[in-house]
C-alpha cells in the first residue's frame, strides 16, 4: 500500500490502496467540496420535514424524512470510505467524483417531490449517476489490485450495481409498496460492505474517517443553526414575536452547542484504530446525523407554533426538538463516548441528560429553553467530572 504521489507528476496514476499508517492524513479540498454539496440535499429534507410536522402529518413526514435522509447519508458514506482507502487525487479520480456530485444535486432536486408526492424518480436518477461513478471507481481499484483485495473491489462493484438495479423497484411499484421496497433495499445496501470485506479489509484510515464523519456532523449542525436562524428572523419580521421566540432561540442554541461539544469531546479515532466494529460505528451515524438535522427542523416547527403559523400544541412543538436532541445524546454516548468514560457518574451524564431533555417536553412554552439548560448542564458536569478524574490520576 502506498501514498499517492504529488499531483504534479502525472494526470493519471494507478488507483492503489493507501496506507492505514499514513501520517498527517486529512480531508482533501475535493472531499470538502463534496460535503458542501450535500448541504443542499440535507436542507431540502429538513424543509420538507418542517412542513409535514407543522401541517399535522408528523408520522408520514418522519417516515419520508428517514427514507430521504438515508439516501443522502448512504451516498455520502459510500464515497467517504472508498476515498479513505483509494483516493489518489489524479485527474480521472477528480472527474468521477465531480460526476458523483452532479448526482447529489439531482437527488437534492427530487427531495420535495419525494416528500409531497411520494415520487422518487429524481432521487433514483441521482443515485444512478452516483452509483455508476462509484462502481467504476471500484472496478478501477480492482484493475490495480490482486488476490483478496481484487476480489473485494469486484464484490463492491457488483454489490453497488445490483443494489442500484434493486432501487429501480422504488419507481415502478405501486405507492403502498414503496416503504417495503425501501426497507428491503436498505438491508441489501447495508450488507454489501461486510460481505465485500469478508476476506480482505479495505485500508481506510482511522483518523481520516473520524475527521470525515466529524466534518459531516458539523455540516449538519451548521445547517440546523442556519435553518433556526432564518425561522426566528422570519418570525420576528412577520409577527413581531420577539418575546415568544427568544426562549426558543436561546434553548436551541444551547442544544446545538452542547451537541457539538459532546460529539467532539472524545478522540474517537483511537477507538477506530483498535476496534473491529467500525461498520457498526459507521452505520450508527445514520441516526446520529439524521437526529442532528432534525433538531433544526424541530426548532423551525417551534417557531411556527409560537407565531401561530403551525396548528400544534406547545407540547408537540417542544417534542419536535426534544425527541431528536435526546436521541442524539443517547446515540453519541452508545457509539463512542461511553468507551472514554470512567466510573458510574461519568457514564450516567448523557443518559440522564437525555431523560431530562425528554421531560422538558412537558414544560410548555419554556420546554425548549429548559432542554437547552439541561444540555448545557450535562456539558458542565462532564467537564467537571473529567477534570476531577484527571487530577486524581495525576495525584495518584
Predicted pLDDT at 390: 67
Cell of 41: 440535499
Does residue 389 have a pLDDT over 80?
no
Lowest mean pLDDT among 25-34, 51-60, 78-87, 122-131: 51-60
Domain with CATH 1.20.1410 in the chain: 206-395
Predicted pLDDT at 393: 59
Percent of the chain with pLDDT over 70: 94
* Cα separation, 89 vs 70, whole angstroms: 27
Q: At 187, is the pLDDT very low, low, confident or very high (cuts 50, 70, 90)?
A: very high
Predicted pLDDT at 354: 95
Looking at beta carbons, which pairs linking 132-135 to residues 24 or more positions away fall under 8 Å?
Answer: 132/164, 133/96, 133/97, 133/99, 133/100, 133/103, 134/78, 134/79, 134/82, 134/100, 134/160, 135/160, 135/161, 135/164
Predicted pLDDT at 2: 46
> Which of 108, 112, 128 is CA-nearest to residue 170?
128
Q: In this predicted model, what pLDDT tens digit does every residue of 69-94 receive, in sequence order?
A: 999 999 999 999 999 999 888 899 99
Q: In this predicted model, what pLDDT tens digit does every residue of 337-362 receive, in sequence order?
A: 887 777 788 889 999 999 999 999 99
| CATH number for the segment(s) 206-395 | 1.20.1410
Q: In this predicted model, what pLDDT tens digit does every residue of 231-263 receive, in sequence order?
A: 777 777 776 667 778 888 889 999 999 999 999
Does residue 327 have a pLDDT over 90?
yes
* Cα separation, 396 vs 390, whole angstroms: 10
Lowest mean pLDDT among 82-91, 314-323, 379-388: 379-388
Amino acid at each position: 500500500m502506498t501514498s499517492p504521489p504529488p499531483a504534479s507528476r502525472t494526470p493519471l496514476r494507478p488507483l492503489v490502496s493507501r496506507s492505514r499508517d499514513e501520517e498527517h492524513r486529512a480531508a482533501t479540498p475535493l472531499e470538502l467540496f463534496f460535503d458542501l454539496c450535500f448541504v443542499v440535499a440535507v436542507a431540502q429534507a429538513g424543509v420538507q420535514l418542517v412542513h409535514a410536522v407543522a401541517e399535522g402529518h408528523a408520522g408520514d413526514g418522519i417516515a419520508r424524512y428517514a427514507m430521504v435522509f438515508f439516501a443522502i447519508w448512504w451516498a455520502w458514506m459510500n464515497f467517504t470510505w472508498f476515498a479513505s482507502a483509494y483516493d489518489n487525487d489524479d485527474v480521472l479520480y477528480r472527474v468521477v467524483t465531480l460526476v458523483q456530485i452532479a448526482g447529489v444535486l439531482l437527488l437534492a432536486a427530487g427531495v420535495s417531490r419525494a416528500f409531497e408526492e411520494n415520487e422518487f424518480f429524481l432521487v433514483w436518477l441521482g443515485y444512478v449517476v452516483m452509483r455508476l461513478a462509484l462502481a467504476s471507481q471500484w472496478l478501477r481499484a480492482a484493475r490495480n489490485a490482486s488476490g483478496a483485495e481484487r476480489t473485494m473491489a469486484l464484490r463492491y462493484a457488483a454489490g453497488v450495481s445490483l443494489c442500484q438495479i434493486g432501487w429501480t423497484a422504488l419507481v415502478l411499484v405501486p405507492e403502498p409498496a414503496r416503504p417495503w421496497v425501501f426497507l428491503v433495499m436498505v438491508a441489501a445496501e447495508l450488507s454489501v460492505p461486510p460481505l465485500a470485506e469478508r476476506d480482505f479489509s479495505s485500508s481506510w484510515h482511522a483518523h481520516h474517517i473520524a475527521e470525515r464523519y466529524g466534518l459531516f456532523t458539523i455540516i449538519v449542525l451548521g445547517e440546523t443553526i442556519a435553518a433556526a436562524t432564518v425561522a426566528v428572523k422570519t418570525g420576528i419580521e412577520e409577527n413581531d414575536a420577539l418575546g415568544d421566540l427568544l426562549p426558543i432561540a436561546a434553548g436551541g442554541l444551547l442544544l446545538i452547542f452542547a451537541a457539538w461539544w459532546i460529539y467532539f469531546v472524545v478522540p474517537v479515532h483511537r477507538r477506530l484504530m483498535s476496534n473491529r466494529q467500525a461498520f457498526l460505528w459507521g452505520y450508527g451515524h445514520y441516526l446520529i446525523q439524521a437526529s442532528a438535522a432534525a433538531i433544526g427542523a424541530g426548532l423551525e416547527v417551534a417557531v411556527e407554533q409560537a407565531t401561530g403559523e403551525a396548528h400544534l400544541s406547545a407540547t408537540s412543538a417542544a417534542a419536535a426538538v426534544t425527541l431528536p436532541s435526546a436521541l442524539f445524546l443517547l446515540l453519541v454516548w452508545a457509539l463512542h463516548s461511553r468507551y472514554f468514560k470512567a466510573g458510574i457518574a461519568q457514564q450516567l451524564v448523557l443518559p440522564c441528560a437525555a431523560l431530562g431533555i425528554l421531560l422538558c417536553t412537558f414544560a410548555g412554552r419554556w420546554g425548549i429553553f429548559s432542554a437547552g439548560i439541561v444540555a448545557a448542564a450535562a456539558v458542565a458536569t462532564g467537564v467537571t467530572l473529567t477534570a476531577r478524574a484527571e487530577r486524581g490520576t495525576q495525584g495518584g
